[in-house]
C-alpha cells in the first residue's frame, strides 16, 4: 500500500485551510459542496489536451480534499450534510 495519494490529499487540505478557515467551511451546505466538487470534475473531464495526466491527478486530489473538507465540516456540526 502506498500513502502517496493520502499524503497529497492531506497536503491539499492544509493548503485549503490556509485560504479558508473552519467557520467558512462550516457555512457551506451539501449543495455548495456538490457545486465545488462538480466544478473540479468538469475540469477533470474537459479536453485531455488541456489537462495532461499530472493536472488530472492534481484535480482528483482537489476533489478528494474537498470531500474531506465537507466531512470535517459535518464533524464540527456545520451545514455540510444539509441542503
Let me know if residue 15 belongs to a domain: yes
Asked if 61 contacts 12 with a C-beta cutoff of 8 angstroms, the reply is: yes
> Helix 30-44 to helix 53-75 angle, to the nearest 10 degrees?
170
CA atoms in the 13 A half-sphere facing the CB of 76 = 17
Let me know if residue 51 belongs to a domain: yes
- H helices of the chain, in order, are 4-19, 22-26, 30-44, 53-75
Let me know if residue 55 belongs to a domain: yes
Let me know if residue 81 belongs to a domain: no
Let me know if residue 80 belongs to a domain: no
Lookup: cell for 2: 502506498
Let me know if residue 83 belongs to a domain: no
One pLDDT digit (tens) per residue for the chain, 83 residues: 779 999 999 999 999 999 999 999 999 999 999 999 999 999 998 876 666 888 899 999 999 999 999 999 999 999 988 87
Domain count, the chain: 1
Let me know if residue 9 belongs to a domain: yes
Fill in the DSSP letter of residue 83: -
Task: List the domain range (segments joined by +) for residue 45.
Answer: 4-75
Amino acid at each position: 500500500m502506498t500513502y502517496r495519494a493520502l499524503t497529497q490529499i492531506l497536503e491539499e487540505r492544509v493548503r485549503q485551510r490556509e485560504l479558508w478557515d473552519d467557520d467558512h467551511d462550516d457555512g457551506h451546505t451539501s449543495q455548495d459542496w456538490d457545486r465545488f466538487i462538480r466544478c473540479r470534475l468538469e475540469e477533470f473531464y474537459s479536453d485531455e489536451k488541456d489537462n495532461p495526466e499530472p493536472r488530472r491527478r492534481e484535480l482528483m486530489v482537489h476533489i478528494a480534499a474537498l470531500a474531506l473538507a465537507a466531512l470535517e465540516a459535518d464533524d464540527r456540526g456545520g451545514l455540510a450534510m444539509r441542503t
